[in-house]
């Protein structure tokens, strides 16, 4: 039987964050390029899976993302989607992180880095699968997630019960 201090610590840690949920998926290679205005998942980076607990808040993070495009002044939607299951996310999966990226100049000078992140509360216990996608919102060019000389990483951190 747990003592008072042990019971308190167990209760406290069940509501606190539990850190990174699984090893990050990462790559130092450039990612999958977009095609026209179709939302395209980055198959080079791949999907991230972890086991979620219903009611807990999680932060999804895509580190070291360098954006590249072929046409100046194009606009792109960048998303991380969660299928909520062991299946790969699709364009109808829940968006858990989102931003738009504007290409200031095509080529080297226009390759700008960002960190894409968002938080969500798990709806159910079980496997969740997340994937990064890009879609041209305006313009005529092609977007490619770049390595920038350092690995792009996709992972989830358990923030706890909030």
Residue 49's CATH number: 2.60.120.760
Between the CA of residue 103 and those of 25, 51, 86, 134, 156, what are the distances in Å?
26, 36, 34, 13, 28
pLDDT value of position 55: 92
For 48, other C-beta atoms within 10 Å of its C-beta total: 25
pLDDT at 112 over 80: yes
Residue 104 backbone class (left: φ over 0; alpha: ψ -120 to 50; beta: rest) = alpha
- Token reading at 138: 């305006």
Residue 51, strand partner residues: 127
Q: Which is nearest to 49 in space by CA: 87, 13, 15?
A: 87
Domain count, the chain: 1
pLDDT at 12 > cutoff 80: no
Lowest-confidence region among 1-5, 37-41, 45-49, 138-142? 1-5
Q: Are 68 and 26 in contact (CB under 8 A)?
A: no
Domain extent, residue 86, equals 4-160
pLDDT value at 14 more than 80 = no
Contact of 70 with 139, CB cutoff 8 Å: no
For residue 53, name the pLDDT band (cuts at 50, 70, 90): very high
Asked whether 142 and 70 are in contact (CB, 8 A), the reply is yes
The residues, ordered by sequence, that sit 6+ positions from 112 with a Cβ below 8 Å of its Cβ are: 66, 67, 101, 104
């Amino acid at each position: 039987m747990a003592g008072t201090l042990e019971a308190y610590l167990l209760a406290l840690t069940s509501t606190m964050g539990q850190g990174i949920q699984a090893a990050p998926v990462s790559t130092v290679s450039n990612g999958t390029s977009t095609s026209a205005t179709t939302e395209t998942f980055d198959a080079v980076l791949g999907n991230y899976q972890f086991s979620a607990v219903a009611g807990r808040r999680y932060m999804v993070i895509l580190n070291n993302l360098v954006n590249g495009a072929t046409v100046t002044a194009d606009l792109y939607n960048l998303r991380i989607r969660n299928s909520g299951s062991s299946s790969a996310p699709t364009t109808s999966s829940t968006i858990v992180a989102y931003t738009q990226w504007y290409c200031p100049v095509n080529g080297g000078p226009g390759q700008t880095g960002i960190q894409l992140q968002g938080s969500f509360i798990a709806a159910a216990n079980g496997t969740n699968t997340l994937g990064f996608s890009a879609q041209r919102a305006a313009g005529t060019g092609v977007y490619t997630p770049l390595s920038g000389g350092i690995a792009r990483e996709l992972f989830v951190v358990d923030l706890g019960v909030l």
